[in-house]
Amino acid sequence: MTVSEDPAAGLGERLHQLVGQLAAAPVRSITGDGVRATLDIVAKALAEGWPAPAEIPFEIHEVPSGTPVLDWTVPKEWNVRAAYLVGPDGSRFADVADHPLHLLGYSVPTRTRLGLDELRPHLFSMPDRPDWIPYRTSYWNENWGFCLTDRALRALPDGEYEVVVDTTLTDGSLTYAEIVLPATEPAPGGGEPDEFLVTTHTCHPATANDNGSGIAVLTELARHLAALPSRRHTFRLLFIPGTIGSITWLARNRDMVGRIRHGLVLTGLGDRGGLTYKRSRRGDATVDRAAAVALAESGQEHRLVDFSPYGYDERQFCSPGFDLPVGRLGRGQHGEYPQYHTSADDLSFVTPESLAGSFAALTRIIEICDANAFWRNTSPYGEPQLGRRGLYRAIGATMNRQAVEMGLLWVLNLTDGTRDLLDIGARADIPFDSVLAAVDALAGVGLLAREAGPEGTP
Protein backbone atom coordinates (compact mmCIF):
# COMPACT_ATOMS: atom_id res chain seq x y z
CA MET A 1 0.00 0.00 0.00
CA THR A 2 1.41 3.38 -0.98
CA VAL A 3 1.05 6.71 0.76
CA SER A 4 -0.98 8.05 -2.15
CA GLU A 5 -3.82 5.60 -1.54
CA ASP A 6 -7.00 6.47 0.32
CA PRO A 7 -6.98 4.77 3.76
CA ALA A 8 -10.72 4.09 3.48
CA ALA A 9 -10.45 2.55 0.02
CA GLY A 10 -10.92 -1.20 0.12
CA LEU A 11 -11.63 -1.21 3.87
CA GLY A 12 -14.19 -3.99 3.68
CA GLU A 13 -11.99 -6.14 1.48
CA ARG A 14 -8.99 -5.55 3.74
CA LEU A 15 -11.00 -6.60 6.78
CA HIS A 16 -12.37 -9.63 4.95
CA GLN A 17 -8.88 -10.76 4.00
CA LEU A 18 -7.72 -10.46 7.59
CA VAL A 19 -10.71 -12.49 8.79
CA GLY A 20 -9.64 -15.17 6.31
CA GLN A 21 -6.12 -15.23 7.72
CA LEU A 22 -7.43 -15.50 11.26
CA ALA A 23 -9.86 -18.28 10.39
CA ALA A 24 -7.00 -20.26 8.84
CA ALA A 25 -4.80 -19.94 11.95
CA PRO A 26 -3.84 -23.09 13.91
CA VAL A 27 -6.17 -24.59 16.48
CA ARG A 28 -6.68 -22.03 19.20
CA SER A 29 -8.46 -22.00 22.50
CA ILE A 30 -8.35 -19.98 25.71
CA THR A 31 -4.62 -20.73 26.04
CA GLY A 32 -1.79 -22.10 23.94
CA ASP A 33 0.25 -21.61 20.83
CA GLY A 34 -2.85 -21.11 18.68
CA VAL A 35 -3.58 -17.90 20.59
CA ARG A 36 0.01 -16.77 20.13
CA ALA A 37 -0.14 -17.52 16.40
CA THR A 38 -3.34 -15.46 16.19
CA LEU A 39 -1.69 -12.51 17.94
CA ASP A 40 1.26 -12.84 15.55
CA ILE A 41 -1.19 -12.33 12.66
CA VAL A 42 -2.54 -9.21 14.40
CA ALA A 43 0.97 -7.87 15.01
CA LYS A 44 1.86 -8.34 11.33
CA ALA A 45 -1.34 -6.58 10.24
CA LEU A 46 -0.57 -3.66 12.55
CA ALA A 47 2.91 -3.39 11.07
CA GLU A 48 1.39 -3.04 7.60
CA GLY A 49 -0.67 0.02 8.54
CA TRP A 50 -1.60 2.83 6.18
CA PRO A 51 0.13 4.98 4.99
CA ALA A 52 3.11 3.74 6.95
CA PRO A 53 3.38 1.65 10.10
CA ALA A 54 2.20 3.74 13.03
CA GLU A 55 3.83 3.49 16.43
CA ILE A 56 1.43 1.02 18.02
CA PRO A 57 2.57 -0.48 21.35
CA PHE A 58 1.37 -4.08 20.99
CA GLU A 59 2.21 -5.73 24.31
CA ILE A 60 1.86 -9.47 24.92
CA HIS A 61 1.08 -10.61 28.46
CA GLU A 62 1.64 -14.15 29.75
CA VAL A 63 -0.13 -15.03 33.02
CA PRO A 64 1.11 -18.30 34.58
CA SER A 65 -1.19 -21.28 35.02
CA GLY A 66 -2.43 -21.53 38.59
CA THR A 67 -2.60 -17.76 39.11
CA PRO A 68 -5.68 -16.82 41.19
CA VAL A 69 -7.84 -14.33 39.27
CA LEU A 70 -10.90 -13.12 41.18
CA ASP A 71 -12.92 -16.30 41.90
CA TRP A 72 -11.13 -18.26 39.17
CA THR A 73 -7.71 -19.76 38.48
CA VAL A 74 -5.73 -19.49 35.26
CA PRO A 75 -5.97 -22.99 33.73
CA LYS A 76 -3.25 -25.21 32.38
CA GLU A 77 -2.06 -24.40 28.88
CA TRP A 78 -3.53 -26.57 26.13
CA ASN A 79 -1.78 -27.40 22.86
CA VAL A 80 -2.60 -29.76 20.02
CA ARG A 81 -0.20 -31.83 17.97
CA ALA A 82 -2.66 -34.21 16.30
CA ALA A 83 -6.11 -35.69 16.85
CA TYR A 84 -8.11 -38.17 14.77
CA LEU A 85 -10.02 -41.45 14.72
CA VAL A 86 -8.97 -44.50 12.74
CA GLY A 87 -11.84 -46.73 11.63
CA PRO A 88 -11.97 -50.52 11.29
CA ASP A 89 -10.78 -50.30 7.68
CA GLY A 90 -7.87 -47.97 8.51
CA SER A 91 -9.59 -44.79 7.29
CA ARG A 92 -9.18 -41.59 9.32
CA PHE A 93 -12.19 -39.69 10.60
CA ALA A 94 -12.60 -36.30 12.32
CA ASP A 95 -8.99 -35.33 11.74
CA VAL A 96 -8.20 -31.96 13.37
CA ALA A 97 -5.73 -31.37 10.55
CA ASP A 98 -8.74 -31.18 8.20
CA HIS A 99 -10.77 -28.80 10.39
CA PRO A 100 -9.97 -27.33 13.85
CA LEU A 101 -13.54 -27.89 15.05
CA HIS A 102 -13.20 -31.66 14.78
CA LEU A 103 -11.56 -31.81 18.20
CA LEU A 104 -13.49 -31.07 21.39
CA GLY A 105 -11.77 -28.03 22.83
CA TYR A 106 -9.41 -28.81 25.73
CA SER A 107 -9.56 -32.56 25.09
CA VAL A 108 -7.18 -34.38 27.42
CA PRO A 109 -4.44 -36.59 25.92
CA THR A 110 -5.91 -39.97 25.01
CA ARG A 111 -4.78 -43.07 23.12
CA THR A 112 -7.12 -46.03 23.22
CA ARG A 113 -9.16 -48.46 21.15
CA LEU A 114 -12.95 -48.54 21.50
CA GLY A 115 -15.92 -50.17 19.85
CA LEU A 116 -18.35 -47.82 18.12
CA ASP A 117 -20.92 -48.03 20.95
CA GLU A 118 -18.23 -47.11 23.52
CA LEU A 119 -17.04 -44.30 21.27
CA ARG A 120 -20.43 -42.67 20.67
CA PRO A 121 -20.60 -40.70 23.98
CA HIS A 122 -17.45 -38.89 22.81
CA LEU A 123 -18.86 -37.92 19.40
CA PHE A 124 -20.83 -34.73 18.79
CA SER A 125 -22.89 -33.74 15.76
CA MET A 126 -25.90 -31.63 14.75
CA PRO A 127 -28.76 -33.83 13.50
CA ASP A 128 -30.70 -30.75 12.37
CA ARG A 129 -27.70 -29.52 10.32
CA PRO A 130 -26.28 -32.79 8.97
CA ASP A 131 -23.43 -31.23 6.95
CA TRP A 132 -22.09 -28.86 9.62
CA ILE A 133 -19.46 -29.55 12.29
CA PRO A 134 -20.42 -28.20 15.74
CA TYR A 135 -18.02 -26.26 17.96
CA ARG A 136 -17.83 -27.79 21.44
CA THR A 137 -15.47 -27.30 24.37
CA SER A 138 -14.73 -28.82 27.77
CA TYR A 139 -12.52 -26.22 29.45
CA TRP A 140 -13.27 -26.94 33.09
CA ASN A 141 -14.19 -30.66 33.04
CA GLU A 142 -11.61 -33.20 31.91
CA ASN A 143 -12.94 -34.96 28.84
CA TRP A 144 -12.06 -35.78 25.27
CA GLY A 145 -14.14 -35.97 22.15
CA PHE A 146 -14.61 -35.33 18.46
CA CYS A 147 -17.07 -33.20 16.51
CA LEU A 148 -18.17 -34.25 13.05
CA THR A 149 -21.01 -33.82 10.63
CA ASP A 150 -24.09 -35.86 11.45
CA ARG A 151 -23.94 -37.35 7.97
CA ALA A 152 -20.42 -38.64 8.70
CA LEU A 153 -21.45 -39.87 12.14
CA ARG A 154 -24.35 -41.89 10.79
CA ALA A 155 -22.08 -43.43 8.16
CA LEU A 156 -19.51 -44.78 10.66
CA PRO A 157 -19.20 -48.56 10.31
CA ASP A 158 -19.35 -50.91 13.27
CA GLY A 159 -16.09 -52.20 14.62
CA GLU A 160 -13.14 -51.08 16.68
CA TYR A 161 -11.72 -47.56 16.43
CA GLU A 162 -8.32 -46.22 17.33
CA VAL A 163 -8.55 -42.93 19.25
CA VAL A 164 -5.61 -40.53 18.95
CA VAL A 165 -5.74 -37.28 20.93
CA ASP A 166 -2.17 -36.01 20.95
CA THR A 167 -2.59 -32.93 23.12
CA THR A 168 -0.78 -31.47 26.12
CA LEU A 169 -2.18 -29.89 29.27
CA THR A 170 0.76 -28.41 31.14
CA ASP A 171 1.72 -25.58 33.43
CA GLY A 172 2.13 -22.75 30.98
CA SER A 173 0.27 -19.47 30.72
CA LEU A 174 -2.75 -17.57 29.47
CA THR A 175 -1.81 -15.17 26.67
CA TYR A 176 -3.45 -11.87 25.84
CA ALA A 177 -2.43 -8.67 24.06
CA GLU A 178 -2.96 -5.05 25.04
CA ILE A 179 -2.59 -1.80 23.12
CA VAL A 180 -2.58 1.47 25.06
CA LEU A 181 -2.75 4.69 23.04
CA PRO A 182 -2.37 7.60 25.49
CA ALA A 183 -4.53 10.71 25.37
CA THR A 184 -2.81 13.67 23.76
CA GLU A 185 -5.04 16.33 25.33
CA PRO A 186 -5.08 17.29 29.03
CA ALA A 187 -8.08 16.15 31.02
CA PRO A 188 -10.59 18.88 31.96
CA GLY A 189 -9.82 19.93 35.50
CA GLY A 190 -6.50 18.08 35.45
CA GLY A 191 -5.84 14.56 36.65
CA GLU A 192 -5.64 11.32 34.69
CA PRO A 193 -7.36 11.27 31.28
CA ASP A 194 -10.48 9.15 30.96
CA GLU A 195 -10.04 5.77 29.28
CA PHE A 196 -11.98 4.12 26.48
CA LEU A 197 -11.80 0.31 26.65
CA VAL A 198 -12.45 -1.81 23.55
CA THR A 199 -12.07 -5.59 23.70
CA THR A 200 -12.53 -8.68 21.56
CA HIS A 201 -12.15 -12.39 22.22
CA THR A 202 -9.44 -14.49 20.57
CA CYS A 203 -10.29 -18.04 21.63
CA HIS A 204 -12.68 -19.40 18.99
CA PRO A 205 -10.92 -21.54 16.35
CA ALA A 206 -11.70 -21.33 12.63
CA THR A 207 -14.91 -19.30 13.03
CA ALA A 208 -15.03 -16.16 10.87
CA ASN A 209 -17.86 -14.15 12.40
CA ASP A 210 -17.39 -15.30 15.99
CA ASN A 211 -14.83 -13.99 16.27
CA GLY A 212 -12.42 -13.38 13.41
CA SER A 213 -14.54 -10.35 12.59
CA GLY A 214 -14.04 -8.82 16.04
CA ILE A 215 -10.28 -9.37 15.95
CA ALA A 216 -10.01 -7.87 12.45
CA VAL A 217 -12.12 -4.81 13.28
CA LEU A 218 -10.21 -4.14 16.52
CA THR A 219 -6.93 -4.40 14.61
CA GLU A 220 -8.16 -1.83 12.11
CA LEU A 221 -9.38 0.37 14.96
CA ALA A 222 -5.89 0.38 16.49
CA ARG A 223 -4.44 1.68 13.23
CA HIS A 224 -7.20 4.27 12.93
CA LEU A 225 -6.75 5.58 16.48
CA ALA A 226 -2.96 5.62 16.27
CA ALA A 227 -3.18 7.86 13.20
CA LEU A 228 -5.47 10.46 14.81
CA PRO A 229 -3.84 13.89 15.22
CA SER A 230 -5.17 14.13 18.78
CA ARG A 231 -6.94 11.94 21.31
CA ARG A 232 -9.02 13.20 24.21
CA HIS A 233 -9.19 9.73 25.77
CA THR A 234 -6.60 7.08 26.44
CA PHE A 235 -7.63 4.06 24.38
CA ARG A 236 -7.01 0.61 25.81
CA LEU A 237 -7.58 -2.23 23.33
CA LEU A 238 -7.60 -5.84 24.52
CA PHE A 239 -7.28 -9.08 22.55
CA ILE A 240 -8.29 -11.62 25.20
CA PRO A 241 -9.66 -15.17 25.46
CA GLY A 242 -13.34 -15.16 26.32
CA THR A 243 -14.46 -15.06 29.98
CA ILE A 244 -11.22 -16.14 31.64
CA GLY A 245 -9.34 -13.43 29.70
CA SER A 246 -11.52 -10.56 30.90
CA ILE A 247 -11.55 -11.98 34.44
CA THR A 248 -7.76 -12.21 34.36
CA TRP A 249 -7.38 -8.66 33.04
CA LEU A 250 -9.78 -7.27 35.64
CA ALA A 251 -7.96 -9.10 38.43
CA ARG A 252 -4.64 -7.62 37.34
CA ASN A 253 -5.95 -4.08 36.82
CA ARG A 254 -8.34 -3.42 39.69
CA ASP A 255 -6.45 -0.25 40.63
CA MET A 256 -7.16 1.51 37.33
CA VAL A 257 -10.62 0.36 36.22
CA GLY A 258 -12.08 3.53 37.74
CA ARG A 259 -10.56 5.49 34.86
CA ILE A 260 -12.67 3.61 32.30
CA ARG A 261 -15.31 6.08 31.13
CA HIS A 262 -16.59 4.14 28.10
CA GLY A 263 -16.22 0.57 26.86
CA LEU A 264 -17.23 -1.74 24.03
CA VAL A 265 -16.98 -5.48 23.48
CA LEU A 266 -16.73 -6.40 19.78
CA THR A 267 -18.05 -9.66 18.39
CA GLY A 268 -19.96 -10.98 15.38
CA LEU A 269 -19.43 -7.94 13.17
CA GLY A 270 -19.39 -9.54 9.73
CA ASP A 271 -22.69 -11.37 9.14
CA ARG A 272 -25.52 -9.98 7.01
CA GLY A 273 -27.76 -9.14 9.97
CA GLY A 274 -28.44 -5.62 11.16
CA LEU A 275 -26.26 -3.94 13.75
CA THR A 276 -27.05 -4.79 17.36
CA TYR A 277 -25.96 -2.79 20.37
CA LYS A 278 -26.32 -4.31 23.83
CA ARG A 279 -26.48 -1.67 26.53
CA SER A 280 -24.26 -1.69 29.58
CA ARG A 281 -25.65 -2.72 32.96
CA ARG A 282 -26.16 0.98 33.71
CA GLY A 283 -28.34 1.35 30.64
CA ASP A 284 -27.81 5.09 30.23
CA ALA A 285 -24.03 5.44 30.20
CA THR A 286 -22.52 7.81 27.68
CA VAL A 287 -21.54 4.90 25.43
CA ASP A 288 -25.13 3.61 25.51
CA ARG A 289 -26.52 6.97 24.43
CA ALA A 290 -23.75 7.49 21.87
CA ALA A 291 -24.45 4.09 20.33
CA ALA A 292 -28.15 4.91 20.03
CA VAL A 293 -27.33 8.15 18.19
CA ALA A 294 -24.67 6.58 15.97
CA LEU A 295 -26.82 3.66 14.89
CA ALA A 296 -29.87 5.86 14.29
CA GLU A 297 -27.95 8.22 12.03
CA SER A 298 -26.10 5.40 10.22
CA GLY A 299 -29.03 4.49 8.00
CA GLN A 300 -28.21 0.82 8.62
CA GLU A 301 -30.72 -1.66 9.99
CA HIS A 302 -30.14 -1.85 13.72
CA ARG A 303 -31.57 -2.60 17.13
CA LEU A 304 -30.79 -1.75 20.74
CA VAL A 305 -31.13 -4.44 23.40
CA ASP A 306 -30.98 -4.19 27.16
CA PHE A 307 -28.24 -5.68 29.29
CA SER A 308 -28.48 -9.24 30.53
CA PRO A 309 -25.85 -11.22 32.48
CA TYR A 310 -25.44 -13.65 29.59
CA GLY A 311 -23.35 -13.27 26.48
CA TYR A 312 -19.75 -12.24 26.01
CA ASP A 313 -17.22 -10.37 28.15
CA GLU A 314 -19.55 -7.46 28.82
CA ARG A 315 -20.99 -9.58 31.62
CA GLN A 316 -17.59 -9.56 33.38
CA PHE A 317 -16.98 -5.82 32.96
CA CYS A 318 -20.58 -5.17 34.04
CA SER A 319 -20.50 -7.50 37.05
CA PRO A 320 -21.87 -5.61 40.07
CA GLY A 321 -18.52 -5.12 41.79
CA PHE A 322 -17.11 -3.34 38.73
CA ASP A 323 -20.29 -2.06 37.01
CA LEU A 324 -18.26 -0.51 34.21
CA PRO A 325 -19.94 1.42 31.36
CA VAL A 326 -19.26 -1.31 28.79
CA GLY A 327 -21.70 -2.26 26.04
CA ARG A 328 -21.41 -4.72 23.19
CA LEU A 329 -21.45 -4.04 19.46
CA GLY A 330 -22.22 -6.78 16.96
CA ARG A 331 -24.73 -7.93 14.40
CA GLY A 332 -26.52 -11.26 14.82
CA GLN A 333 -26.45 -12.22 18.50
CA HIS A 334 -25.13 -15.54 19.82
CA GLY A 335 -27.58 -18.35 19.29
CA GLU A 336 -29.81 -16.31 16.97
CA TYR A 337 -28.32 -17.48 13.68
CA PRO A 338 -27.93 -21.17 12.81
CA GLN A 339 -24.26 -20.82 11.79
CA TYR A 340 -23.31 -19.82 15.35
CA HIS A 341 -20.66 -22.16 16.81
CA THR A 342 -20.50 -24.33 13.70
CA SER A 343 -18.28 -24.89 10.70
CA ALA A 344 -20.78 -22.88 8.64
CA ASP A 345 -19.39 -19.75 10.32
CA ASP A 346 -16.77 -19.56 7.60
CA LEU A 347 -15.41 -16.83 5.36
CA SER A 348 -18.44 -17.01 3.06
CA PHE A 349 -20.69 -16.14 6.00
CA VAL A 350 -19.12 -12.69 6.50
CA THR A 351 -19.15 -9.91 3.92
CA PRO A 352 -16.82 -6.98 3.25
CA GLU A 353 -19.84 -4.66 3.30
CA SER A 354 -20.93 -5.78 6.78
CA LEU A 355 -17.40 -5.51 8.14
CA ALA A 356 -16.97 -2.00 6.75
CA GLY A 357 -20.40 -0.96 8.05
CA SER A 358 -19.56 -2.28 11.51
CA PHE A 359 -16.27 -0.40 11.50
CA ALA A 360 -18.04 2.81 10.51
CA ALA A 361 -20.56 2.41 13.34
CA LEU A 362 -17.78 1.66 15.82
CA THR A 363 -15.72 4.70 14.91
CA ARG A 364 -18.81 6.91 14.98
CA ILE A 365 -19.68 5.75 18.51
CA ILE A 366 -16.13 6.57 19.55
CA GLU A 367 -16.26 9.99 17.84
CA ILE A 368 -19.46 10.88 19.68
CA CYS A 369 -18.12 9.73 23.05
CA ASP A 370 -14.91 11.64 22.40
CA ALA A 371 -16.76 14.86 21.47
CA ASN A 372 -19.38 14.62 24.18
CA ALA A 373 -18.67 17.02 27.04
CA PHE A 374 -20.14 19.37 29.59
CA TRP A 375 -20.17 23.09 28.86
CA ARG A 376 -21.38 26.09 30.84
CA ASN A 377 -22.95 29.24 29.47
CA THR A 378 -20.70 32.13 30.55
CA SER A 379 -23.52 34.67 30.08
CA PRO A 380 -26.52 32.87 31.57
CA TYR A 381 -28.55 35.90 32.74
CA GLY A 382 -30.83 36.65 29.85
CA GLU A 383 -30.14 35.78 26.25
CA PRO A 384 -26.72 37.06 25.16
CA GLN A 385 -26.64 39.34 22.14
CA LEU A 386 -25.52 37.13 19.29
CA GLY A 387 -25.62 39.77 16.55
CA ARG A 388 -22.80 41.91 17.92
CA ARG A 389 -20.64 38.80 18.15
CA GLY A 390 -21.06 38.09 14.45
CA LEU A 391 -23.01 34.88 14.92
CA TYR A 392 -26.13 36.03 13.05
CA ARG A 393 -24.01 37.01 10.06
CA ALA A 394 -22.61 33.48 10.02
CA ILE A 395 -26.12 32.07 10.30
CA GLY A 396 -27.27 34.26 7.45
CA ALA A 397 -24.87 32.50 5.13
CA THR A 398 -26.47 29.14 5.77
CA MET A 399 -29.37 27.57 3.91
CA ASN A 400 -31.31 26.75 7.09
CA ARG A 401 -30.99 29.87 9.23
CA GLN A 402 -33.83 28.99 11.59
CA ALA A 403 -32.49 25.51 12.40
CA VAL A 404 -29.00 26.85 13.11
CA GLU A 405 -30.35 29.72 15.19
CA MET A 406 -32.48 27.31 17.23
CA GLY A 407 -29.40 25.15 17.78
CA LEU A 408 -27.53 28.13 19.19
CA LEU A 409 -30.42 29.09 21.44
CA TRP A 410 -30.97 25.57 22.74
CA VAL A 411 -27.29 25.10 23.50
CA LEU A 412 -27.14 28.42 25.33
CA ASN A 413 -30.20 27.52 27.34
CA LEU A 414 -29.16 24.01 28.32
CA THR A 415 -25.44 24.45 29.02
CA ASP A 416 -25.83 24.90 32.75
CA GLY A 417 -23.15 22.35 33.64
CA THR A 418 -25.64 19.56 34.40
CA ARG A 419 -26.21 18.28 30.85
CA ASP A 420 -23.75 16.88 28.35
CA LEU A 421 -24.08 17.38 24.61
CA LEU A 422 -25.93 14.10 24.10
CA ASP A 423 -28.53 15.24 26.64
CA ILE A 424 -28.84 18.58 24.87
CA GLY A 425 -29.32 16.97 21.46
CA ALA A 426 -32.01 14.67 22.84
CA ARG A 427 -33.83 17.47 24.70
CA ALA A 428 -33.70 19.85 21.72
CA ASP A 429 -34.33 17.09 19.17
CA ILE A 430 -31.47 18.22 16.96
CA PRO A 431 -28.66 16.13 15.42
CA PHE A 432 -25.51 15.67 17.47
CA ASP A 433 -23.36 17.33 14.81
CA SER A 434 -25.64 20.38 14.93
CA VAL A 435 -25.09 20.59 18.68
CA LEU A 436 -21.34 20.38 18.10
CA ALA A 437 -21.48 23.13 15.47
CA ALA A 438 -23.38 25.40 17.87
CA VAL A 439 -20.89 24.67 20.66
CA ASP A 440 -17.94 25.47 18.40
CA ALA A 441 -19.51 28.76 17.33
CA LEU A 442 -20.45 29.83 20.84
CA ALA A 443 -17.18 28.76 22.42
CA GLY A 444 -15.35 30.63 19.68
CA VAL A 445 -16.82 33.93 20.89
CA GLY A 446 -16.40 33.15 24.58
CA LEU A 447 -20.02 32.33 25.41
CA LEU A 448 -19.26 28.75 26.51
CA ALA A 449 -16.62 27.27 28.81
CA ARG A 450 -15.91 23.57 29.03
CA GLU A 451 -16.27 21.83 32.38
CA ALA A 452 -15.28 18.50 33.84
CA GLY A 453 -18.92 17.57 34.49
CA PRO A 454 -20.58 16.20 37.61
CA GLU A 455 -18.43 13.74 39.57
CA GLY A 456 -19.14 10.14 38.65
CA THR A 457 -20.67 10.97 35.28
CA PRO A 458 -20.44 7.83 33.13
Residues 206-217, mean pLDDT to the nearest whole number: 97
Q: Are residues 65 and 86 in the same domain?
A: no
Residue 435 lies in a domain: yes
46 and 1 Cβ atoms separated by less than 8 Å: no
> Is 233 marked as a binding-site residue?
no
Q: Are residues 69 and 87 in the same domain?
A: no
Residue 399 has pLDDT above 60, yes or no: no
- pLDDT range class, residue 1, cuts 50, 70, 90: very low
Q: Are residues 140 and 191 in the same domain?
A: no
Alpha carbons 129 and 113: distance in angstroms, whole number: 29
Question: What are the pLDDT digits (tens) for 32-49?
Answer: 999 999 999 999 999 886
Residue 6 has pLDDT above 90, yes or no: no
Exposed / middle / buried, residue 88 (Cβ in 10 Å: 0-12, 13-18, 19+): middle
Residues 54-59, mean pLDDT to the nearest whole number: 86
Residue 9 has pLDDT above 80, yes or no: no
Taking every pair of C-alpha atoms in the chain, what is the biggest distance, in angstroms?
94
**pLDDT recorded at residue 2:** 31
Helix/strand/coil (H, E, C) string of the chain?
A: CCCCCCCCCCHHHHHHHHHHHHHCCCCCCCCCHHHHHHHHHHHHHHHCCCCCCCCCCEEEEEEECCCEECCEECCCEEEEEEEEEECCCCCEECCCCCCHHHECECCCCEEEEEEHHHHHHHEECCCCCCCCCECCECCCCCCCCEECCHHHHHCCCCCEEEEEEEEEEECCEEEEEEEEECCCCCCCCCCCCCEEEEEEECCCCCCHHHHHHHHHHHHHHHHHHHCCCCCCCEEEEEEECCCHHHHHHHHHCCCCHHHEEEEEEECCCCCCCCEEEECCCCCCCHHHHHHHHHHHHHCCCEEEECCCCCCCCHHHHCCCCCCCCEEEEECCCCCCCCCCCECCCCHHHCCHHHHHHHHHHHHHHHHHHHHCCEEEECCCCCCCCCHHHCHHHHHHCCCCHHHHHHHHHHHHHHCEEEEEHHHHHHHHCCCHHHHHHHHHHHHHCCCEEEECCCCCCC
> Is 420 marked as a binding-site residue?
no
Cα 137 vs. chain centroid, distance in angstroms? 22
Q: Are residues 441 and 401 in the same domain?
A: yes
73 and 270 Cβ atoms separated by less than 8 Å: no
**pLDDT recorded at residue 4:** 34
- pLDDT range class, residue 191, cuts 50, 70, 90: confident
The rounded mean pLDDT for the chain is 93
Look at 247 and 2; give whichever has higher pLDDT.
Answer: 247
**pLDDT recorded at residue 154:** 97
**Tell me, what CATH number does 101's domain have?**
3.50.30.90
Cα–Cα separations (whole angstroms), residue 220 to 47, 213, 254: 11, 11, 28
Question: What are the pLDDT digits (tens) for 120-169?
Answer: 999 999 999 999 999 999 999 999 999 999 999 999 999 999 999 999 99
- pLDDT range class, residue 335, cuts 50, 70, 90: confident
Point out the domain boundary residue: 170, 191, 218.
Answer: 170
Look at 17 and 188; give whichever has higher pLDDT.
Answer: 17
71 and 166 Cβ atoms separated by less than 8 Å: no
> Is 99 marked as a binding-site residue?
no
**pLDDT recorded at residue 379:** 96
Residues 100-120, mean pLDDT to the nearest whole number: 98
Question: What are the pLDDT digits (tens) for 321-331?
Answer: 999 999 999 99
Determine the structural domain holding residue 53 and report its residue range: 11-74+172-371
Residue 51 has pLDDT above 60, yes or no: no
Q: Are residues 157 and 261 in the same domain?
A: no
CA nearest 220: which of 371, 6, 12, 2?
Answer: 12
**pLDDT recorded at residue 351:** 98
Residues 89-104, mean pLDDT to the nearest whole number: 97
Look at 97 and 388; give whichever has higher pLDDT.
Answer: 97
Q: Are residues 251 and 298 in the same domain?
A: yes
Residue 3 lies in a domain: no
Question: What are the pLDDT digits (tens) for 302-320?
Answer: 999 999 999 999 999 999 9
Residues 188-206, mean pLDDT to the nearest whole number: 91
**pLDDT recorded at residue 404:** 76
Q: Are residues 385 and 444 in the same domain?
A: yes
- pLDDT range class, residue 77, cuts 50, 70, 90: very high
Name the percent of the chain lying above pLDDT 70: 93
Residue 458 lies in a domain: no
Look at 2 and 234; give whichever has higher pLDDT.
Answer: 234
**Tell me, what CATH number does 69's domain have?**
3.40.630.10
Please indicate, yes or no, whether the overall pTM of this predicted structure exceeds 0.85. yes
Q: Count the domains in the chain.
A: 3
